[in-house]
Structure 1
Amino acid sequence: MSSDPIVALLLIAALIAASAFFSLTELAVAASRRVRLRQLADHGDWRAQRVLAVQDEPGDFFTALQIGMNAVAILGGVVGEGAFSPMATRLLQALQLDAGYIETSASVLSFVLVTSLFILLADLFPKRLGMVAPEQVAVRVVGPMLLVLAAFRPLVWCFKRLTDLLFKLLGLPERRDEAVTSDDILAMAQAGADAGVLALTGQQVIENVFELDTRLVTSAMTSRDRIVHLLLDDSEALIRARIEQFPHSTYLVCDGDIDHVVGYVDSKDLLSRVFNGQPISLQAPGLIKKVLIVPERISLSEVLQQFRQAFEDFAVILNEYSLVVGIITINDVMSTVMGSLVAPMDDDQIVQRDADSWLIDGATPIPDVLRALDLDHLPQQDEYETLAGFMMVMLRRIPRKTDKVSWGGWRFEVLDVDSYRIDQVMVAREVPSSTPLADG
């Protein structure tokens, strides 16, 4: 090595720059998001395609990086000891230290200074830069790095084969899994909402879409006791009175009782008969249409698929005993997806009284209860689907008025029971918050 300190300092600067380049390249290429790189490639940036190719076959690329980084580190250690030793020696002599310690102290000071420069300028700074904008950095450094790869090709081939052998011996995967799961998408949506680039309502819609695979049809249905149905032998006066009292677009038609479903009738077909001066009789040919029947244990996404296949938007839900448990429409499914974009809360099911208490219908699906109370889960959640079911499981009996359950900082109190059916539950914080509920 040249004894000229200027040459030594220039060599140290060159080694730091080379090490910084390798560190920046390594982190930027590894951290680059493939979705973003594909977007850049689709907009005509051919360098993004080269980065994607490197990520598909990273072995040679990262082998060359490691060879370069280790070579620079070794050279830095050799050059660094003598780079600042003369200056450190003069400084220590000026401080009039013992001559026996000056040489050793100068070497230590030189080593510490060179190491600090490498850590700061060749490691921390370039890696932070690579994390801030990995895709933009990667497309700029991939070209020069490929030239380095070409120069190190023989060494790369040798080390890569040895590395492949180690991976095979240990049974490790040679490529990273690029599959994007629903959890990945939800995490990205959460990150986007936290960063302010995605509206909270948009994030909620995305979460609701993925919930379609896990939520059963019973969580969005109109329950059995709320179904407005007609019987085959109903008189015209009774049908008119029922339609006037409960105006709907379709009505379930049954034979004798609700568990013997015949089909359904469109209110527009009944209105057409009135306009044409024909009597309203459910026995009229062609008036009753075949209804779609689905089991209660299928998911909302599965019922959507059945709607599409049958070209229907209305279905009756049966349990394993062939008893009607409810009905569901495509609008019920879409309301589950849109959530608060359709209505902030179902006024008949969830009403917020103040900042610390809610009035909730016993038939409210558990996912809606969790969302209203900002809870992650309830105990033994697989054993029930509604708030009434939660109360029954927790109490281990049919609840009575004023029965209470405490869990997760909330108190659940039964306010009203009608024929063993839980109508209303008051849910209140056991420790009231200090934040008042804003008007509106």
Structure 2
Amino acid sequence: MSELAVVSARPARLQVLADRGSKGAATAISLAKDPGRFLSSVQIGITLVGVLAGAFSGATLGARLSAILIEVGLSEGIALPLGVGLVVVAITYLSLIVGELVPKQIALRNPEQVAIRVAPMMRIIARFAFPLIWMLDRSGKLVLRLLRQSRTQDRHVSDEEVRLIVAEAESTGAMNPAESQMIAGVMRVADRSARGLMTPRHEVEMLDVACSRADLMRQLKDHHRSRLPVWEKDPHNIIGVLATGDILAPALMNEPFDLHELLREAPVVRDEQSALDVIDRLRMAPAHMVLVYDDYGHFEGIITPMDLLEAITGDFPDSETDEPKVVIRADGSYLVAGWMPVDEFADLLSLEIDTDRGYETVAGFVLEKIGRLPEVSEHLALLNWSIEVVDMDGRRIDKLLVKRVDQ
């Protein structure tokens, strides 16, 4: 129980308890940091108990049971081996149940609390048996070195292990589905680039700084956006962001205004820049918006706090006419929008995608796999899934039908 509890206990949880003043937790942490000495202490205790149990059962209990069997009428030749055998079987059974299975089950159910309670006793054993433990520890390390296993392996937690932990927490009721979905969304966002977060240029509503006052008021009325990028001479030349609240007062008072003076600065990020860097830039942006450009200076799109929120929690449709990223059909197939983020698509179908990829959408994924611009009704076989291009918007993949090949 001591061995399994200390090994299975979560270091982070023990550290929290140690910070709160638990001496047992601090002792358990120190034991776990030196597994050679700890395991040697455990093995000394196990071996000592086994030797004493064997000697005691054969020399004492076995002899007494044999004497009782002789008194009830059995011959000495039968009573002696039968008495010892029955005692050995009983001791072995109790050792397995009471000494192994039950303690290990207790340790697995609450490893941190068990480790806190048994750690002080294990430290006492380690102190009293220090010479023997030192010899066993050195001998074990020598054998490991001969087997080329002496190097300490760092324990890294992968993204997949974190997802499994979250899924386990959800299945046990410790976390509700909405929480696990948001955690999965945060993990996806951290792996994306600016291109995977942005609203693409063809969906961005913009203003021309040279437009007349009447055109400006009409566009503000039609757009229904709180912040709009403003360009000058060239749509790729964004000179700032207009917050509609800044223009509200002079517009209502019918006062003159200079649109240049009302603009707020928006930082520029590269389309391949990591999402974490983008979040830092967005946090300090006066306009709460960053502009995404490629390496050639072409305007690619914008990123706002709402884009980040939607990447974590899912879309917030502006109206009933907004296109959903995926629709589950009656036959179990999926109608997928080409702009759907590919990491969400991979989670939906339980697929593995390259981390070092040059695309961020399902359309880009299909183009990468096919190697050219597909035609309508063209199919792509992917493991046990069939992906069909059902609609093209010019040179852009608009809709895909995804279903299992056995359907």
TM-score, scaled to structure 1:
0.78
Compute the displacement of 1:215 (Å): 0.9
2:298 matched to which residue of 1? Answer: 323
Q: Secondary structure of 1:398's match? A: coil
Which piece of structure 1 moves more, 361-370 or 313-322?
A: 361-370
| Cα distance per residue 1:290-339 (max 9 Å; x no partner) | 33111010122110011234445211111122111211112201221223
Compute the displacement of 1:58 (Å): 4.6
CA distance in 1, matches of 2:158, 2:400: 37
Matched, 1:75 2:52: yes
1:289 matched to which residue of 2? Answer: 264
Matched, 1:407 2:382: yes
Compute the displacement of 1:160 (Å): 3.8
Compute the displacement of 1:168 (Å): 6.3
CA distance in 2, matches of 1:153, 1:377: 50
Which piece of structure 1 moves more, 405-414 or 289-298?
A: 405-414
Tell me if the contact between 2:339 and 2:398 (Cα under 8 Å) persists in the aligned partners: yes
Task: Read off the aligned partner of 1:127 and give its amino acid letter.
Answer: K
1:393 matched to which residue of 2? Answer: 368
1:198 matched to which residue of 2? Answer: 175
Which piece of structure 1 moves more, 391-400 or 380-389?
A: 380-389
Tell me if the contact between 1:189 and 1:203 (Cα under 8 Å) persists in the aligned partners: yes
**Alpha carbons of 1:408 and 1:241: their partners in 2 closer, same or farther (altered >3 Å)?**
farther
**Alpha carbons of 1:52 and 1:311: their partners in 2 closer, same or farther (altered >3 Å)?**
farther
Tell me if the contact between 1:221 and 1:328 (Cα under 8 Å) persists in the aligned partners: yes
**Alpha carbons of 1:76 and 1:308: their partners in 2 closer, same or farther (altered >3 Å)?**
same
| Cα distance per residue 1:5-39 (max 9 Å; x no partner) | xxxxxxxxxxxxxxxxxxx2222222222233234
CA distance in 1, matches of 2:65, 2:329: 76
Task: Read off the aligned partner of 1:405 and give its amino acid letter.
Answer: L
CA distance in 1, matches of 2:294, 2:14: 49
CA distance in 2, matches of 1:357, 1:95: 79
**Alpha carbons of 1:185 and 1:191: their partners in 2 closer, same or farther (altered >3 Å)?**
same
**Alpha carbons of 1:96 and 1:60: their partners in 2 closer, same or farther (altered >3 Å)?**
closer
2:62 matched to which residue of 1? Answer: 84
Tell me if the contact between 2:292 and 2:301 (Cα under 8 Å) persists in the aligned partners: yes
| Cα distance per residue 1:83-107 (max 9 Å; x no partner) | 336646976998989x978766665
Question: Which of these residues, 353, 356, 359, is aligned with residue 384 of structure 1?
Answer: 359
Matched, 1:420 2:395: yes
**Alpha carbons of 1:348 and 1:72: their partners in 2 closer, same or farther (altered >3 Å)?**
closer
| Cα distance per residue 1:249-295 (max 9 Å; x no partner) | 2222223332222222222233333123235764xx41333331110
2:12 matched to which residue of 1? Answer: 35
Task: Read off the aligned partner of 1:367 and give its amino acid letter.
Answer: D
CA distance in 2, matches of 1:95, 1:328: 93
Identical positions, percent: 26
1:116 matched to which residue of 2? Answer: 93
Tell me if the contact between 1:204 and 1:339 (Cα under 8 Å) persists in the aligned partners: no
2:325 matched to which residue of 1? Answer: 349
1:156 matched to which residue of 2? Answer: 133
CA distance in 1, matches of 2:157, 2:53: 41
Q: Secondary structure of 2:150's match? A: coil
Matched, 1:359 2:338: no
Compute the displacement of 1:369 (Å): 2.4
Compute the displacement of 1:44 (Å): 4.4
**Alpha carbons of 1:41 and 1:290: their partners in 2 closer, same or farther (altered >3 Å)?**
closer
CA distance in 2, matches of 1:95, 1:33: 58
Task: Read off the aligned partner of 1:84 and give its amino acid letter.
Answer: G
Which piece of structure 1 moves more, 39-48 or 61-70?
A: 39-48
Q: Secondary structure of 1:286's match? A: helix
| Cα distance per residue 1:337-369 (max 9 Å; x no partner) | 2237x67x9744333343613333222211232
**Alpha carbons of 1:186 and 1:404: their partners in 2 closer, same or farther (altered >3 Å)?**
closer
| Cα distance per residue 1:219-256 (max 9 Å; x no partner) | 22111211212223323333333323222122222233
TM-score, scaled to structure 2:
0.83
1:223-238 alignment runs, 5 A limit = 223-238=200-215
2:350 matched to which residue of 1? Answer: 375
Q: Secondary structure of 2:191's match? A: coil
Compute the displacement of 1:196 (Å): 0.9
Matched, 1:302 2:299: no
Q: Secondary structure of 1:251's match? A: strand
CA distance in 1, matches of 2:111, 2:207: 64
Matched, 1:146 2:120: no
CA RMSD in angstroms, aligned pairs only = 3.5
CA distance in 2, matches of 1:258, 1:398: 27
**Alpha carbons of 1:407 and 1:166: their partners in 2 closer, same or farther (altered >3 Å)?**
closer
Aligned residue pairs, count: 402
**Alpha carbons of 1:136 and 1:391: their partners in 2 closer, same or farther (altered >3 Å)?**
closer
Task: Read off the aligned partner of 1:366 and give its amino acid letter.
Answer: V
Tell me if the contact between 1:63 and 1:160 (Cα under 8 Å) persists in the aligned partners: yes
Q: Secondary structure of 1:260's match? A: strand
CA distance in 1, matches of 2:17, 2:354: 47
| Cα distance per residue 1:37-95 (max 9 Å; x no partner) | 23434454433233233333454443332222222223333333343366469769989
Q: Secondary structure of 2:241's match? A: strand
CA distance in 2, matches of 1:177, 1:305: 30
**Alpha carbons of 1:405 and 1:149: their partners in 2 closer, same or farther (altered >3 Å)?**
closer
1:209 matched to which residue of 2? Answer: 186
1:243 matched to which residue of 2? Answer: 220
CA distance in 2, matches of 1:403, 1:233: 45
**Alpha carbons of 1:237 and 1:206: their partners in 2 closer, same or farther (altered >3 Å)?**
same
Tell me if the contact between 2:264 and 2:286 (Cα under 8 Å) persists in the aligned partners: no
**Alpha carbons of 1:375 and 1:184: their partners in 2 closer, same or farther (altered >3 Å)?**
closer
Which piece of structure 1 moves more, 131-140 or 101-110?
A: 101-110
